[in-house]
Structure 1
Amino acid sequence: MATRAPPAGHASLAEILAEALPKDASFTFYHVSTPPTKCAAIFSPPPGARPERTYCESHHLNVSVQAQDNGHPGEVLVFAIEILIYTTSHLTTLFVSKADSTGYLSLLNLPRAVDSPIRTISTNFIRWLVRNRQRPGKRLVVSLFARAQDQYLFPGSVDNPTKHVADDTALVKWWCKVLDPVLREYEHEPGQSSEATPTGTTAQGYLIIPGLERIETQRFFPATVKSDPADQKRWTHGHPLLQITRHPNAPPRCLIPHFPDDPKSRYMDELDDELPDGGSQSILSPRGNGQWKSVRSLDQFWDMMSFRQECSSGRLVGFIWINLTPPDLEETVDDEEPIGSQMSSISEVLAPTKDVEKHKSDSSQKKKKKKLTGPIISRTPRIKQTDSKPQSSVKDEITKYYIWPTSSRGQLVLDEKAYKRGTELLQRQNFSNYEAASSSTSLWINEAKLLGGVPSWGIKVVGTKSRPNVDCAVNGSGINVLNTSIVRKKRKADEEAPQPEKNCNEAQTLSTTLIRRKPKENDTPASGETSSAVNVLGSNLVRKKPKA
């Protein structure tokens, strides 16, 4: 099947972020990426099969702000996120590798009513990559693990008192909220009782927290799941590993992806020591049936993960997936042969027969070395021709294994070595205080500029999303409705009567004569008198309680 290009007309990252960020808030984005590069397969192959050809594309987005007061004139980084895109001939995986903040976002003095810009940026960056990396007929999976840690990308930032470090429970909930808008951009998967066939791409969210049961896990889902129909919940306890694999009957080690710096990957490496060959990837490796001795199923694997040091001792680690299924999914038929027969059939193909060996020996005997005669003529040395084009233009945009649209690349496209150098440079800086963070920001921006060979870089984005009016809102009929978030507090006895407040859109207000207030002690009318608005009994009509 020919690979088609993604739909045209996708908005740029800057346009998407400008619409989502608070009005008049200014940010500068530094986006670095690499071309798709051949890498080790993230899924172990079944016994007797070759590893899938896999490509990896790295994206690193840094965000900086400029302080609004004169006391902090320098630019400082406030947030960074790294996403690795793994692609094969049948699957695209977006793995959120790292994300971290410095705490200096407080320099913008944004009101508390504004949504977190960091969560907004994370959601829209992932959403933008998902839109641009979807391939017709291929699944796309967003995968990440949420593990609380003081700092990931910005050394010393934990010493900044304005940095908020979320605990493990809050972090898992936060990432589910980040991915929920991405999920709800697509149709829901058909429920068991639903007969409707989806017309577009469907999406389903999954969450596993080792050590927690299904009911306990549900409290980490976003609040939006409460409004979902009972048979169409957009979030569920579990994983999509059996759906995304090409070999659902293979051993568990072939179904679980292997990502860098991933808790489950480290556990898989230890389990591979139980194999006869220590988990070698060679096609001729005598690994038996590829089955671990101590873990025999996926359910048992997740149960054992709860006893790992990273998932125990009162700490929670959440594994989250968003599984996107296109309407024209290419069905992959799995080979139903037993694993042993697969190995034997591969060995039969690779092992030369006796006839082939005899033919090779006969042909080798017939060949004779040709005796060289005549004068020796020296060859003119040739200079190796190198392609002067940048690496970004050497790669194909559309192949069987990936798509690489020009519109969704980083502002700087670096090769793998330069990209690694830039990320390592960032992780050697100091963000413990503003002066050090500002200096580190300037150093990293300039060094990345030299790596990319550009005179300047960075995209400035000013938010355009209007802030909601918390005083009053006007519905479509033109009637003013009081915001339910406004709470009227009880006035103290010595407070003066409230003055009429200005309303929105020239709404009518009550007259002060119609406002009942608690009378003061010195406001009590004389005997036999009444106020102009309220009838009061005279003192001679009040029955007093006799003294004892």
Structure 2
Amino acid sequence: MNQIHPQGLPKLLASCLPQDERFFVLQLQSVPTETHPIVTPKAKCESPLTVKVQHFFALFHHEKIVYALEVYVYLTLWFDSDCSAERLIFISKADTTGYCDVKLSFKELTKTLIEYLTSIDPNYYLHRIKPRGRNYVQQPELLTHRTNPIHALRILSKRHRALSYSKPEVPSDFYLSLQFPVKFETAICLFTRPEPQYLFAESSKNPNKHCLNGVQLLNWWLSILDDILCHVFESTSQAKLQIPGESTAQVRRHLDSVQFGNWQVGYVFGKNSSDLAAYTIPLLPDDPKTRFLRQLAEEGRINIVDLETFWIELAERQEFRLSETVSVMGVRGIPSKLSTHVPSSDDVFTAPSKKRFDYIKSYITGEEYDTEEGAFEAFANIRDFFSLRLNRSLQMVVGTMSSIDKEKFKRPVNPEEAHSVTTLVTRKKPKK
């Protein structure tokens, strides 16, 4: 395994953005927080320690937001297993506004951001982790959400008399600190379902926005993961594609154009169809598989439904019966290069709390994008918040990708895709 010295985010993004065009980028990160295991452990097994981190990327051009990507990173440490650690990158949402004034490869941009996340050293997240529970009783002079008003006033009065206006240092035992092993498995998973918009409300009303149908969206993400497998993972890695409700032969047709040789029909979580879904399917945010698991728990069937039954019944749910192709895909393996990158404070802003993270994110997701005004407002809100509240500016990126470089990223067109009906092609009425 080779060790690399990853570049910072602005330099990486510059390589996939049009030459001499100026962009601004936001990388928002949540505080690493201890959370429940992503896969429910069996009764007699020790629960692993799991850390959850949320990333939100946004790209701005000509003072308008044009793109955003939301990703969750889960780091799992087992203490009684041969496979001692795993990193799971769950791609939650990616979206465009349609208001970009230059031709931009959002596929290459998305691939670059995911590869950037795989290059980050997991220990970057683990030096200061918010635990699931804290003992506030042992810290009588610390103001917390559990401090009653009378006690809080006494603490503030005491500080005032002592002429101490600075905040007391948070005790080190209020945070966890862990060490990730050098070699670990990395998994990337996502769920594809065509929607008019994912992060930018009403953006589908913009006629310039490219909306993909189910097959196009599946192939778009499939080519991204395939490229990542070829560039980031070892050749022994797994790659799986599942389309609930479709035959194995039909799913294999989508794998005809991939470059990585280990693509198979199936799911990267679980090996045997007889395994219980409850101990195999991960619990992920805003995910239909997780919603179905919770329904099974409410129905009292959680301990009897195996993976084969789970996928059959999942295909019958409303989310999978809207006459659109819906897929689940994922990869799992050992990265071919060591993850050594540590993001600088200039590249990323770590929100001090989940509430602050959602507050900053809402400056973007809270706007309406049926007109360009929403895209302008989102940029102005983020720019002013960083300038006035944080006394810092957004990172500027100047594109370096030439027209020659663009040709390198183009894949051969599948003949079946070239003639498929899309939301962007006018369908002509047959002549009578």
TM-score by length of 2: 0.71
SS at match of 1:184: helix
- Structure 2: runs of 5+ lacking an equivalent: 78-84, 123-180, 414-432
1:241 pairs, out of 269, 287, 312, with 269
Paired amino acid for 2:88: T
Residue of structure 1 in register with 2:99 after alignment: 104
Which one is further off, 419-428 or 120-129? Answer: 419-428
Q: Against the structure 1 CA distance between its residues 409 and 24, is the aligned structure 2 distance closer, same or farther, given a 3 Å change threshold?
A: closer
Equivalents in 2 of 1:463, 1:234: separation in Å?
34
CA contact (8 A) 1:206 1:236 kept: yes
Residue of structure 2 in register with 1:260 after alignment: 285
Residue of structure 2 in register with 1:300 after alignment: 309
Which of the pair has the greater relative contact order for Cα pairs under 8 Å at 6+ separation? 2
Question: 1:477-516 to 2 correspondence within 5 Å?
Answer: none
CA contact (8 A) 2:274 2:307 kept: no
Residue of structure 1 in register with 2:326 after alignment: 317
> Shift of residue 224 of structure 1?
3.8
- Identical pairs, percent: 25
Q: Against the structure 1 CA distance between its residues 78 and 428, is the aligned structure 2 distance closer, same or farther, given a 3 Å change threshold?
A: same
TM-score by length of 1: 0.57
Equivalents in 1 of 2:26, 2:3: separation in Å?
25
> Shift of residue 131 of structure 1?
1.8
Q: Against the structure 1 CA distance between its residues 158 and 58, is the aligned structure 2 distance closer, same or farther, given a 3 Å change threshold?
A: same
> Shift of residue 210 of structure 1?
0.4
Paired amino acid for 2:264: T
Q: Against the structure 1 CA distance between its residues 219 and 458, is the aligned structure 2 distance closer, same or farther, given a 3 Å change threshold?
A: farther
Paired amino acid for 1:81: L
> Shift of residue 97 of structure 1?
1.1
Q: Could you give the per-residue CA deviations for residues 195-231 of structure 1, whole angstroms, max 9, x where no partner exists?
A: xxxxxxx433211110112221133337243xx6xxx
SS at match of 2:61: strand
Q: Could you give the per-residue CA deviations for residues 412-461 of structure 1, whole angstroms, max 9, x where no partner exists?
A: 111222112222342221221113321232123323555xx422322222
Equivalents in 1 of 2:24, 2:366: separation in Å?
22
Q: Against the structure 1 CA distance between its residues 436 and 215, is the aligned structure 2 distance closer, same or farther, given a 3 Å change threshold?
A: same
Q: Does 1:466 align with 2:417?
A: no
Residue of structure 1 in register with 2:14 after alignment: 18
Q: Against the structure 1 CA distance between its residues 457 and 52, is the aligned structure 2 distance closer, same or farther, given a 3 Å change threshold?
A: same
Residue of structure 1 in register with 2:240 after alignment: 206
Paired amino acid for 1:23: Q
Q: Against the structure 1 CA distance between its residues 438 and 417, is the aligned structure 2 distance closer, same or farther, given a 3 Å change threshold?
A: same
Equivalents in 2 of 1:255, 1:10: separation in Å?
34
- Structure 1: runs of 5+ lacking an equivalent: 1-5, 67-74, 111-115, 190-201, 277-289, 329-401, 472-483, 486-548
Equivalents in 1 of 2:395, 2:93: separation in Å?
22
Q: Could you give the per-residue CA deviations for residues 311-366 of structure 1, whole angstroms, max 9, x where no partner exists?
A: 113122211101123699xxxxxxxxxxxxxxxxxxxxxxxxxxxxxxxxxxxxxx
Q: Does 1:291 align with 2:287?
A: no
> Shift of residue 408 of structure 1?
8.9
Q: Against the structure 1 CA distance between its residues 53 and 408, is the aligned structure 2 distance closer, same or farther, given a 3 Å change threshold?
A: farther
Q: Does 1:185 align with 2:231?
A: yes
**Paired residues, what number?**
341
Q: Does 1:170 align with 2:216?
A: yes
> Shift of residue 48 of structure 1?
4.0
Q: Could you give the per-residue CA deviations for residues 456-484 of structure 1, whole angstroms, max 9, x where no partner exists?
A: 3222222222213999xxxxxxxxxxxx9
Tell me which structure has the larger Cα radius of gyration. Answer: 1
CA contact (8 A) 2:27 2:58 kept: yes
Q: Does 1:147 align with 2:143?
A: no
Q: Does 1:269 align with 2:269?
A: no
Equivalents in 1 of 2:274, 2:50: separation in Å?
21
Residue of structure 2 in register with 1:357 after alignment: none
> Shift of residue 95 of structure 1?
0.5
Q: Does 1:445 align with 2:383?
A: yes
Q: Against the structure 1 CA distance between its residues 131 and 469, is the aligned structure 2 distance closer, same or farther, given a 3 Å change threshold?
A: closer
Residue of structure 1 in register with 2:173 after alignment: none
Equivalents in 2 of 1:165, 1:312: separation in Å?
19
1:457 pairs, out of 386, 393, 396, with 393
Residue of structure 2 in register with 1:77 after alignment: 65
Q: Against the structure 1 CA distance between its residues 217 and 188, is the aligned structure 2 distance closer, same or farther, given a 3 Å change threshold?
A: farther
